[in-house]
């Protein structure tokens, strides 16, 4: 017994040590700004920011990875030739200061920024640009084997770029195989990051664990499944960075992330759970930063299957379904009603369109006009899994089913496991099918062509199997024009046709919310899903 008591005493002492140590552990921010400046003076330098997200990066070589978590890490380290302006999908100069396009649209000449260094001291130049791209598609390139370069494939780059030529140290020329306007937006994506050739040569396959770029932060260390540490690149060519260090931490559970934020252990969190949002909104130490995501969830009506070959029937569906009720029941504050196939943060989004109101009477009238006064029977396919654009397809299907029953349409809900589901909707087995899309490059083409073109009706992607020559001409024309105002006009027109022809019932765009501590300043959500900390600063 005595031994047990002495042991317990030891335990108590040990825990006392643990508690007493609490103060010593308080983070010591390295090299804080020597003089505290008033807030109105703009960004303050210094401090360590901790960003908590739900999963770890796979690798930090942006060419090799496809998942958002990996890009969260690599975006801090690397720059691209062109970049998205903060909070928009508009493309602006980055490592390339200017560019010219040849008259036939097949030659892009980029004029590069002078005096930029990679973090390892390698000078940034045209050869580095050529290296970063060539390794992803030139099969004889010494580092091509380090692939697979999956995003290059996703964006179909091999059928866009023919070859890349170094004109001089600061001029690089891209020869294209076809005129493809969204090409420029592709270059702002993470996979098109410019990497240090010296570092790739040094590390080989291990470059994904030792990334070296020209970006605002340098890579310091990575503890698998726990945290990645970055430090400020003091020689950064652009604005910022203001933080001394940036730490990206993994906290898998959404509520645990919120509690860590509330506790001040972290400064910014990703993917808050919808149930915690109200508490966060009420917390004086937390700001909620919100923006509609670059996504759309929709119900496609299979135009190959009657009665959905009739425009009036498709319009009737749009009148019959109560989209606001779906938002309220399923998305909460994390969603907004969709009226266009494009998300509202995308340039050329047509906000002059009047959305179909919820009007069951009108729906019945249209059905009667279409020769179906007694309604009809259909299936309604619902995904078995939560997706970023649709958190609960089954629940939505039940609401839609009830809405349709009101106008005399009997809908039977159908679901398969996720893999089979995708195969079967691509094959057009459904009459009405739910699906959605998350954009890649912030270009309207990435939604309209991928989801609604005639080509996509044949090759997969257009699960409404809607073939409209007029619409198709507009989006193909827009793809082959570099003039931004012209493209905008063409895409706006195509949305008018989409609205009138109603191949889908667009449901919702999910809203992205990033909760931050109130000390975090100038954090901007990028529609493409990047988390950029270049201009972020901490109020001290």
Partner 1 sequence: MVRYILQRLLLLIPTLLGVLTIVFFMTALSPGDPARIMLGERANEQQLEQLREELGLNRPVGEQYLIYLEHSLRLDFGRSIKTRRPVMEEIQELFPATVELALVAMFLATFLGILVGVLSAVRKNTLLDYTAMVGALAGVSMPVFWLGLVLIMIFSVGLGWFPTGGRMEVRLFFQPITRFFILDGIILWFREGNPAYLISAARHIVLPAIALATIPLAIIARTTRSSMLETMRQDYVKTARAAGIPERRVIFRYALKNALLPVITVVGIQFGLLLAGAILTETIFAWPGIGRWIYSAISARDYPAIQAGVIVVSTVFVFINMIVDILYSVINPKIRLQ
How do strand 377-381 and strand 410-414 relate by DSSP bridges?
Answer: parallel
Among 229, 277, 478, 508, binds partner 1 (CB under 8 A): 229
Among 55, 93, 238, 344, binds partner 1 (CB under 8 A): 55
Q: Is 28 in the site for partner 1 (CB under 8 A)?
A: yes
Q: DSSP string covering 258-280, please?
A: HHHHHTTS-SEESS--GGGHHHH
- Residue 456 buriedness (CB in 10 A; 0-12 / 13-18 / 19+): buried
CA distance 81 to 103: 21
Binding mask 449-488 toward partner 1 (x if CB under 8 A, else -) reads -----------x----------------------------
Minimum CB distance to partner 1 smaller for 53 or for 314: 53
CA distance 203 to 210: 7
Among 22, 34, 38, 284, binds partner 1 (CB under 8 A): 22
For partner 1, which stretch binds (CB under 8 A), given 276-284, 353-361, 431-439, 488-496? Answer: 431-439
Minimum CB distance to partner 1 smaller for 67 or for 500: 67
Supply 289's token pair. 């930063």
Q: 139: Cβ–Cβ under 8 A, 6 or more apart, which residues?
A: none
Among 33, 422, 476, 497, binds partner 1 (CB under 8 A): 422
Among 130, 135, 173, 249, binds partner 1 (CB under 8 A): 249
Question: Is residue 62 a contact partner of residue 54, using CB atoms and an 8 Å limit?
Answer: no
Q: Where are the alpha helices (DSSP H) in 21-98?
A: 68-77
Q: Is 24 in the site for partner 1 (CB under 8 A)?
A: yes
CA dihedral 452, 454, 455, 459 (to 10 degrees): 80
CA distance 422 to 434: 10
Question: Is residue 157 a contact partner of residue 186, using CB atoms and an 8 Å limit?
Answer: yes
Q: Is 27 in the site for partner 1 (CB under 8 A)?
A: yes
For partner 1, which stretch binds (CB under 8 A), given 104-112, 248-256, 441-449, 490-498? Answer: 248-256
For partner 1, which stretch binds (CB under 8 A), given 170-178, 218-226, 342-350, 479-487? Answer: 218-226
CA distance 520 to 200: 35
Q: Is 435 in the site for partner 1 (CB under 8 A)?
A: yes
Among 137, 237, 416, 482, binds partner 1 (CB under 8 A): 416
Q: Is 158 in the site for partner 1 (CB under 8 A)?
A: no
Question: Is residue 268 a contact partner of residue 409, using CB atoms and an 8 Å limit?
Answer: no
Binding mask 107-146 toward partner 1 (x if CB under 8 A, else -) reads ----------------------------------------
Among 39, 100, 120, 154, binds partner 1 (CB under 8 A): 154
Among 37, 223, 324, 518, binds partner 1 (CB under 8 A): 223
- Rounded least distance, CB 492 to partner 1, Å: 26
Minimum CB distance to partner 1 smaller for 198 or for 227: 227
Question: Is residue 465 a contact partner of residue 419, using CB atoms and an 8 Å limit?
Answer: no
Minimum CB distance to partner 1 smaller for 175 or for 418: 418
How do strand 96-101 and strand 335-337 relate by DSSP bridges?
Answer: unpaired
- Rounded least distance, CB 196 to partner 1, Å: 22
Minimum CB distance to partner 1 smaller for 284 or for 419: 419
Minimum CB distance to partner 1 smaller for 6 or for 223: 223
Q: Among 493, 390, 512, 393, which Cα is nearest to 448's?
A: 493
Residue for token pair 């697979």: 148
Phi, psi of 27 (to 5 degrees): -60, 130
Q: Directed axis angle between helix 484-501 and helix 469-479, to 10°?
A: 160
Supply 142's token pair. 């010494």
Minimum CB distance to partner 1 smaller for 85 or for 386: 386
Supply 296's token pair. 């759309």
Sign of CA dihedral 173, 178, 183, 187: negative
- Rounded least distance, CB 423 to partner 1, Å: 6
Residues 251-280 that bind partner 1 (CB under 8 A): 251-253, 255-256, 259-260, 262-263, 265
- Rounded least distance, CB 67 to partner 1, Å: 8
- Stretch (H or E) spanning 432: strand 432-438
Phi, psi of 405 (to 5 degrees): -60, -35
- Rounded least distance, CB 153 to partner 1, Å: 7
CA distances from 363 to 275, 316, 359 (A): 35, 4, 6
Rule CB under 8 A: which residues touch partner 1?
Answer: 1, 4, 14-15, 17-19, 21-22, 24-25, 27-29, 48, 50, 55, 58-59, 67, 148, 150, 153-154, 220-221, 223-227, 229, 247, 249-253, 255-256, 259-260, 262-263, 265, 416-420, 422-423, 435-437, 460
């Amino acid at each position: 017994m005595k031994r047990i008591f002495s042991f317990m005493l030891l335990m108590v002492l040990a825990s006392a040590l643990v508690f007493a140590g609490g103060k010593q552990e308080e983070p010591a921010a390295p090299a804080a700004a020597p003089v505290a400046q008033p807030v109105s003076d703009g960004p303050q330098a210094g401090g360590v920011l901790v960003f908590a997200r739900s999963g770890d990066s796979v690798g930090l070589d942006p060419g090799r990875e496809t998942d958002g978590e990996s890009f969260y890490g690599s975006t801090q380290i690397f720059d691209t030739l062109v970049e998205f302006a903060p909070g928009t999908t508009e493309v602006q100069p980055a490592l390339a200061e200017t560019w010219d396009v040849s008259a036939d649209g097949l030659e892009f000449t980029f004029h590069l920024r002078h005096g930029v260094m990679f973090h390892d001291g390698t000078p940034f130049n045209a050869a580095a640009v050529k290296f970063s791209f060539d390794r992803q598609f030139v099969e004889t390139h010494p580092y091509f084997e380090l692939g697979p370069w999956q995003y290059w494939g996703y964006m179909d780059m091999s059928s866009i770029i023919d070859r890349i030529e170094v004109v001089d140290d600061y001029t690089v020329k891209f020869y294209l195989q076809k005129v493809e306007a969204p090409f420029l937006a592709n270059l702002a994506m993470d996979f098109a990051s410019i990497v240090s050739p010296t570092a790739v040569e040094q590390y080989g396959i291990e470059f994904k664990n030792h990334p070296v770029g020209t970006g605002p932060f340098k890579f310091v260390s990575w503890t698998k499944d726990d945290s990645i540490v970055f430090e400020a690149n003091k020689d950064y060519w652009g604005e910022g960075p203001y933080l001394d260090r940036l730490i990206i931490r993994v906290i898998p559970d959404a509520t645990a992330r919120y509690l860590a934020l509330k506790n001040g252990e972290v400064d910014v969190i990703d993917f808050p759970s919808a149930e915690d949002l109200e508490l966060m909104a009420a917390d004086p130490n937390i700001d909620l930063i919100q923006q509609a995501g670059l996504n759309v969830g929709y119900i496609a009506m299979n135009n190959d299957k009657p009665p959905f070959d009739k425009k009036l029937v498709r319009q009737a569906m749009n009148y019959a379904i109560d989209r606001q009720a779906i938002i309220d029941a399923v998305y909460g504050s994390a969603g907004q009603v969709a009226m266009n196939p494009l998300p509202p943060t995308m340039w050329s989004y047509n906000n002059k369109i009047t959305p179909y109101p919820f009007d069951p009477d009108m729906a019945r009238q249209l059905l009667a006009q279409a020769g179906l006064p007694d309604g009809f029977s259909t299936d309604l396919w619902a995904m078995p899994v939560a997706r970023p654009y649709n958190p609960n397809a089954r629940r939505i299907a039940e609401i839609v089913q009830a809405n349709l029953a009101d106008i005399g349409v009997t809908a039977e809900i159908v679901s398969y496991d996720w893999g089979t589901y995708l195969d079967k909707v691509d094959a057009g087995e459904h009459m009405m099918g739910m699906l959605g899309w998350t954009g890649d490059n912030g270009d309207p083409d990435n939604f309209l062509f991928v989801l609604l073109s005639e080509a996509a009706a044949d090759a997969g992607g257009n699960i409404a199997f809607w073939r409209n020559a007029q619409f198709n001409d507009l989006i193909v024309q827009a793809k082959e024009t570099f003039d931004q105002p012209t493209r905008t006009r063409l895409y706006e027109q195509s949305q008018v046709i989409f609205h009138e022809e109603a191949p889908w019932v667009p449901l919702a765009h999910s809203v992205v919310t990033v909760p931050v501590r109130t000390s975090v300043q100038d954090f901007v959500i990028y529609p493409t899903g990047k988390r950029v900390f270049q201009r972020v600063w901490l109020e001290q």
